[in-house]
Amino acid sequence: MGIVRDRGRYYWVKRVPKRFAGLVVGKDGKPVTQVRQALHTDSKVEAQAKAAQVEVARMAEWEALAMGDSGSARAHFDMAQRLAQVRGFQYQTLSTLLEAPMDEVLERVKDVQKPKVEGKPIENPAVIKAVLGAVPNVLPNLSGVLNEYFDLTTTRHLRKSEAQKHRWVLSKRRAVENFLAATFPKHSPPIDQITRADALRFRTWWSNRIEVDGLAAQTANKEFGHLAEIWGTWAELTGNDLPNPFSKLALDGEKRDQRPSFSRDWVKDRLLDPKAFATLNSEARDILLIMINTGLRPSEISDAPVEDFCIQENIPHLKIAPNGRELKVAHTRRDIPLLGVSLEAARRIVARGGIQKYARKASGWSALVNKYLSNNGLKETPKHTAYSLRHYVEDALLAAGVDDRVRADILGHKYHRPIYGDGGGLLGRRNALEKIAL
């Protein structure tokens, strides 16, 4: 970029970058290699400021032209939207502009009639079409909608850890891929060509999988929910008034069996046998032992920094806070007392400098420990998993007569009655856990 002075006035001058060669044309419609634009000032300082603004606008315009050079109808429409925005207008199709106030239409006409390059009063045809809405609206296919959906919802997931975000993205991509594989295996049409009948075909596809492969209905219903959410959010935030074909697709079916709870005798006699975890690495073992007297989720332990293991306090406890990840829901933020084998495990973790091997890797911990339980005869039934310890704590608290408000505070569950006070706070939770601690 540069500015030149000619007869006392300044002009912005730029050589057209090679990647835009052939796209930027002059008065005669032929490509140009250099552009020049009057800055309408004799002040060098003002000219430099204006030149920077012109540079940004022209580069955005050329980038948009390049994007539309792909031959794709969708790319040309995207280009038109960006070119209109560069000129300060929201893109509107010609049919919409014909119903707009005359002042707005005249403003657009005057804009494209302005000489933008000294000596070249005729605008690039692509710019004229963009400002005057002459490029037909071509909607993206479902994969394109998904990518735009991710861009539109970035602020929803700022608190997610990388692992959480990966799982969130993966579930949405899987739903879209399954839908396209089941209904449009050879091509992916624009979304305005996706109908309710297509969504119902996908529902039938899932019904067959459930019947043949023994999958759970809730797995299908999650995918229907993902697709409905993607479509609805995208349509609302982009101003496309399209009926959502994925609404109300849910399949009836039994819910997946809840993980069974370990019995107290099994925990005391089998899981706390000194030889039970002799060959399991110490960090994995200590995370499991903390679960035994707290009912914490594995990730709530593995993702906690060492400073959240408050073992020197009057009531030793573990703080459950976001710590670089998104908590499941707000009420899961809490302080949980540490007693018995759980306190001993926490002390060892602190002595080692905190969780290291499984930090942000709760899924890896679960895979390892569940395999260990299976290989070493430590599963009370084939359906038991390490997560069953959470259910064990909940059942043990209930059997001990602990108030439901305190149980909810310990386990991080939503409390469905009006909340008064703090439910006894940390002391109340310690008193409750003392009744079941091993």
CATH number of the domain where residue 368 is located: 1.10.443
Distance (Å) of CA 292 to CA 16, 60, 192, 226, 287: 68, 59, 53, 34, 9
Claim to verify: residue 26 and residue 125 sit in the same structural domain: yes
Q: Within 10 A of 185 (CB to CB), how many other CB atoms are there?
A: 8
- According to the model, what pLDDT value does residue 301 have? 93
Claim to verify: residue 183 and residue 53 sit in the same structural domain: no
Q: Which residues of the chain have pLDDT under 70?
A: 1, 26-29, 56-57, 60-61, 63-78, 95, 114-126, 134-138, 211-214, 253-258, 323-332, 414-424
Tell me the pLDDT of the chain averaged across its residues: 82
Q: Within 10 A of 27 (CB to CB), how many other CB atoms are there?
A: 12
* Residue 224 and residue 203 in contact, taking contact as beta carbons nearer than 8 Å: yes
Claim to verify: residue 214 and residue 160 sit in the same structural domain: yes
- According to the model, what pLDDT value does residue 70 have? 46
Question: Per-residue pLDDT tens for 61-78?
Answer: 676 666 555 445 566 666
Claim to verify: residue 428 and residue 378 sit in the same structural domain: yes
Claim to verify: residue 162 and residue 217 sit in the same structural domain: yes
Give me Rg for the CA atoms of the chain: 31
Claim to verify: residue 117 and residue 148 sit in the same structural domain: no
- According to the model, what pLDDT value does residue 254 have? 55
**Residue 11 belongs to a domain:** yes
Q: 318 φ, ψ to 5°? A: -115, 130
**Residue 255 belongs to a domain:** no
**Residue 80 belongs to a domain:** yes
Token pair in block for residue 244: 């959502």
Which residues lie closer than 8 Å to 137 by C-beta, 6 or more apart?
77, 93
Strand-pair category, 9-15 with 34-38? antiparallel
**Residue 92 belongs to a domain:** yes
- According to the model, what pLDDT value does residue 34 have? 86
How many independent structural domains does the chain possess?
3
**Residue 253 belongs to a domain:** no
- According to the model, what pLDDT value does residue 22 have? 75
- According to the model, what pLDDT value does residue 342 have? 96
Q: Which domain holds residue 207?
A: 142-238
Token pair in block for residue 410: 């310990």
* Residue 357 and residue 301 in contact, taking contact as beta carbons nearer than 8 Å: no
* Residue 413 and residue 273 in contact, taking contact as beta carbons nearer than 8 Å: no
- According to the model, what pLDDT value does residue 327 have? 52
- According to the model, what pLDDT value does residue 119 have? 46
- According to the model, what pLDDT value does residue 253 have? 65
**Closest by CA position to 305, among listed 360, 266, 348:** 360
CA distance 343 to 338: 5
* Residue 320 and residue 426 in contact, taking contact as beta carbons nearer than 8 Å: no
Of 82, 108, 131, the last residue of a domain is: 131
Q: Supply the pTM of this predicted model.
A: 0.54
Token pair in block for residue 246: 């994925």
Of 238, 254, 275, the last residue of a domain is: 238
Claim to verify: residue 106 and residue 169 sit in the same structural domain: no
**Closest by CA position to 317, among listed 345, 338, 331, 334:** 338
Distance (Å) of CA 54 to CA 38, 123, 126, 168, 299: 10, 16, 18, 40, 51
